[in-house]
C-alpha cells in the first residue's frame, strides 16, 4: 500500500492509524455527552422530587458540607436505585474516566505502528491514571 | 437561599466563566476557583474539586475536534503525559496536606505568572531553523500538520525535549494542586522550550489537559471533594459556556478579548493573594 505518508510514525499503515484517531475523537465526544446526560438526569430528578434523604436542602447546608471519602459500591448502588445524587456522582465519574479510555485507545495506535517504545510509555501513563482514578494512593 | 436558585446561579456564573475563558484562549478553569470561593463563599478544596472536573469536560470536548483535524501530535502528547500525570498525582496529594490559606496564596501567584504568556503573545506561528534534539530523534517526535490558512502541509521539528519534559512536570503539579488545566504553562513549555508551531502546541496542550486532570480528579473524587450539587452545575455550565465561546470566537478579535481579560485576571489574583494572607 503506497499512500503518501504524513509522518514517519504512520508510514506503516496510515489509513488504520487515521481511523483510530477518528475513533479517539468519537470516544472523547461520546464520553462527555454520556456524562452530561447522566448528570442532567440526576439534576432533573433532584429538582422534581425533593424528598431524597441525603441531598442538602439549602444553600448554607451545601456551603458547610464537609468532604467525606466515597466508595465505588456506594456510588454504584445509589445510581442504580436512581438516587439523584448517586446519578450525578456516576456521571461525574464517567467524565473522569473519559480521558483514561482515550489513553487506553492510544495503545491501538502504537500497536499498529509496532512501536514497542511507545507501548511502554502508554502503559506507564495508563498505570499512573488507573492509580489516580481508583485512588489507590491518596 | 433556595437550593434550586443556588444551583441555577452556579450554572449561569460557570457558563459566563467558560465563555470568557474560551474567548480569551484560556481554559475556564482558571476563573472557577476564584468564582466559587470569593463569589459563592465555598471551601477552596470543594472549589478545586468542582473545577478539575469542569476542566476535563471542556478539554475533552475541544480535543475531539483537534484530533480529527490532525493538529495534535499524539506522540509528543503521550511522552509529555508521563510528566504531567505524575505531576498531577503529586499535586493532588500535596493539596490534601496544605492549609487552605496557603492554597489561596499559591493560586494567586500562579495566576499572576500565567498572565505573562497571555499578555504578551509568546511563541512563533511557524518556527524556523529548528534542529531536532537527540530525544526528538529517539522518540520520533517530528511530524507535520495541514495548515488551512497557508494551504499546505507544514513539517516541523521538536527540540529541547528534556527541558519541556521538566516544565510539564511542574505544569502537572500545578494542575493537580489547584484544579486548573494549567494550559498557559503547557503552551509555554511547548512553544518556548520545544518550539512547536503555535497551532500544534495549543491543540496538543488541549489534548493533554484532560488526561492530566483525570489523574488528579480521581483523587479529589474519592476523597469526597467533588460535591455533586456543586460540581454538576459548574461542569455543565463551563461546558456550555466554552462551547458557545468557541462558536463566537470567529467573530471576536482575540487581542481585544485579551485586553479585557488580563486586567480582570490580575485583579482576581490579587484578591486571592489577599484572601490567603488574611487581609481580605
Residue A62 lies in a domain: no
Provide the grid cell at A127: 498505570
Mean pLDDT, residues A89-117 taken together: 89
pLDDT band at residue A93 under the 50/70/90 scheme: very high
Residues of chain A in contact with residue B142, where contact means CB-CB under 8 angstroms, are 7-8
pLDDT of residue A34: 95
User: Which residues make Cβ contacts (< 8 Å) with residue A67, sequence separation at least 6?
Assistant: B45, B46, B49, B223, B224, B225, B227
Provide the grid cell at A26: 468519537
SS3 B133: coil
Residues B61-103 have pLDDT tens digits of: 777 667 666 788 989 999 999 999 999 999 999 998 999 999 9
Residue A16 lies in a domain: yes
Nearest residue in B to A71, CA atom: B222
Residue A30 lies in a domain: yes
Mean pLDDT, residues B30-43 taken together: 90
pLDDT of residue B123: 59
Measuring CA to CA, which residue among B85, B74, B42, B90 is closest to residue B139?
B74
CB atoms within 10 A of CB B123: 17
Residue B122 has pLDDT above 60, yes or no: no
> Does residue A73 or residue A137 have the better pLDDT?
A73
Side-chain half-sphere CA neighbours of B269 within 13 A = 17
pLDDT of residue A99: 92
Calculate the average pLDDT of chain B: 86
Residue A122 lies in a domain: yes
Mutate to test the interface with B, among A4, A21, A32, A75 (most CBs of B within 10 A): A32
**B238 contacts B32 by C-beta, under 8 angstroms:** yes
Interface check for B158 against chain A (CB to CB < 8 A): the answer is no
* Residue A77, min C-alpha distance to chain B (Å): 16
Interface check for B235 against chain A (CB to CB < 8 A): the answer is yes
Residue of A58, A91, A129 with shortest CB distance to B214: A129
CB atoms within 10 A of CB A81: 9
pLDDT band at residue A72 under the 50/70/90 scheme: confident
Containing structural domain, residue A28: 12-50+71-133
Provide the grid cell at A57: 436542602
Q: Please give the share of chain A, as a percent, with pLDDT higher than 70.
A: 74
Mean pLDDT, residues B107-121 taken together: 79
The angle at the Cα of B202, spanning B197 to B207, to the nearest 5 degrees, equals 125
pLDDT of residue A12: 46
User: How far is Cα B45 from Cα B8, in angstroms, rounded to an integer?
Assistant: 21
Residue A38 has pLDDT above 90, yes or no: yes
DSSP A108: H
> Does residue B214 or residue B3 have the better pLDDT?
B214
Residue A58 lies in a domain: no
Side-chain half-sphere CA neighbours of A76 within 13 A = 3
Decide if A97 and B53 are in contact by the 8 Å CB cutoff.
no
What backbone phi and psi angles, to 5 degrees, belong to B220? -65, -40
User: How far is Cα A46 from Cα B56, in angstroms, rounded to an integer?
Assistant: 24
Residues of chain A in contact with residue B153, where contact means CB-CB under 8 angstroms, are 6
DSSP states of A28-92: HHHHHHHHHHHHHHHHHHHHH----TTS--BHHHHHT-------HHHHHHHHHTT-HHHHHHHHH
Interface check for B93 against chain A (CB to CB < 8 A): the answer is yes
Q: Between A and B, how many residue pairs show a Cβ–Cβ distance under 8 A? A: 205
Nearest residue in B to A70, CA atom: B222
Decide if B142 and A8 are in contact by the 8 Å CB cutoff.
yes
Distance of CA B71 to the CA centre of its chain: 18
Provide the grid cell at A101: 479510555
Give the best-scoring range by mean pLDDT among A121-125, B4-8, B196-200.
Answer: A121-125
Residue of A32, A88, A96 with shortest CB distance to B228: A88
Mean pLDDT, residues A44-69 taken together: 66
Measuring CA to CA, which residue among B156, B227, B228 is closest to residue B191?
B156
pLDDT of residue B244: 85
User: How far is Cα B161 from Cα B140, in angstroms, rounded to an integer?
Assistant: 12
Residue A13 has pLDDT above 70, yes or no: no
Nearest residue in B to A101, CA atom: B211
Residue B258 has pLDDT above 90, yes or no: no
Residues B132-191 have pLDDT tens digits of: 888 888 899 999 988 877 888 889 999 999 999 999 999 999 999 999 988 778 878 888
Residue A4 has pLDDT above 50, yes or no: no
CB atoms within 10 A of CB B38: 16
- Count structural domains, chain A: 1
Decide if A96 and B142 are in contact by the 8 Å CB cutoff.
no
> Does residue B1 or residue B117 have the better pLDDT?
B117
Q: What sign does the dihedral A70-A73-A76-A82 (CA atoms) show?
A: negative
Residue B205 has pLDDT above 80, yes or no: yes
Residues B212-257 have pLDDT tens digits of: 999 999 999 998 899 999 999 999 999 888 888 777 766 666 566 6
Please list the residues that pair with B219 across neighbouring strands: none
Amino acid at each position: 500500500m503506497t499512500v503518501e505518508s504524513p509522518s514517519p510514525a504512520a508510514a506503516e499503515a496510515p489509513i488504520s492509524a487515521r481511523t483510530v484517531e477518528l475513533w479517539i475523537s468519537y470516544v472523547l465526544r461520546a464520553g462527555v455527552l454520556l456524562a452530561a446526560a447522566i448528570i442532567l438526569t440526576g439534576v432533573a430528578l433532584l429538582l422534581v422530587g425533593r424528598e431524597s434523604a441525603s441531598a442538602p436542602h439549602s444553600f448554607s447546608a451545601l456551603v458547610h458540607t464537609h468532604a467525606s471519602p466515597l466508595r465505588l459500591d456506594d456510588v454504584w448502588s445509589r445510581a442504580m436505585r436512581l438516587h439523584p445524587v448517586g446519578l450525578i456522582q456516576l456521571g461525574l465519574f464517567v467524565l473522569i474516566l473519559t480521558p483514561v479510555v482515550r489513553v487506553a485507545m492510544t495503545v491501538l495506535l502504537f500497536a499498529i505502528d509496532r512501536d514497542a517504545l511507545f507501548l511502554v510509555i502508554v502503559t506507564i501513563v495508563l498505570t499512573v491514571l488507573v492509580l489516580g482514578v481508583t485512588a489507590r494512593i491518596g | 437561599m433556595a437550593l434550586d436558585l443556588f444551583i441555577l446561579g452556579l450554572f449561569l456564573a460557570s457558563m459566563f466563566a467558560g465563555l470568557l475563558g474560551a474567548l480569551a484562549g484560556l481554559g475556564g478553569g482558571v476563573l472557577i476557583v476564584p468564582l466559587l470561593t470569593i463569589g459563592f463563599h465555598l471551601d477552596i478544596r470543594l472549589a478545586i474539586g468542582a473545577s478539575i472536573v469542569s476542566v476535563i469536560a471542556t478539554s475533552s470536548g475541544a480535543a475531539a475536534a483537534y484530533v480529527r483535524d490532525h493538529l495534535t501530535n499524539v506522540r509528543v502528547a503521550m511522552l509529555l503525559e508521563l510528566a504531567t500525570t505524575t505531576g498531577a498525582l503529586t499535586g493532588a496529594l500535596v493539596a490534601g496536606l496544605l492549609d487552605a490559606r496557603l492554597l489561596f496564596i499559591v493560586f494567586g501567584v500562579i495566576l499572576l505568572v500565567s498572565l505573562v504568556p497571555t499578555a504578551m503573545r509568546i511563541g512563533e506561528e511557524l518556527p524556523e531553523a529548528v534542529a531536532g534534539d537527540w530525544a526528538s530523534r529517539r522518540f520520533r517526535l517530528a511530524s507535520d500538520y495541514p495548515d488551512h490558512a497557508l494551504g499546505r502541509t507544514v513539517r516541523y521539528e521538536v527540540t529541547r525535549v528534556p527541558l519541556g519534559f521538566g516544565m510539564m512536570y511542574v505544569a502537572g503539579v500545578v494542575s493537580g494542586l489547584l484544579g486548573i488545566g494549567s494550559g498557559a504553562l503547557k503552551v509555554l513549555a511547548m512553544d518556548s522550550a520545544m518550539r512547536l508551531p503555535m497551532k500544534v502546541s495549543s491543540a496538543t496542550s488541549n489534548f493533554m489537559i484532560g488526561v492530566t486532570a483525570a489523574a488528579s480528579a480521581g483523587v479529589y473524587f474519592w476523597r469526597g471533594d467533588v460535591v455533586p450539587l456543586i460540581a454538576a452545575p459548574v461542569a455543565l455550565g463551563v461546558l456550555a459556556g466554552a462551547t458557545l465561546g468557541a462558536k463566537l470566537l470567529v467573530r471576536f478579535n482575540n487581542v481585544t478579548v485579551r485586553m479585557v481579560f488580563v486586567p480582570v485576571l490580575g485583579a482576581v489574583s490579587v484578591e486571592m493573594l489577599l484572601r490567603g494572607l488574611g487581609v481580605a
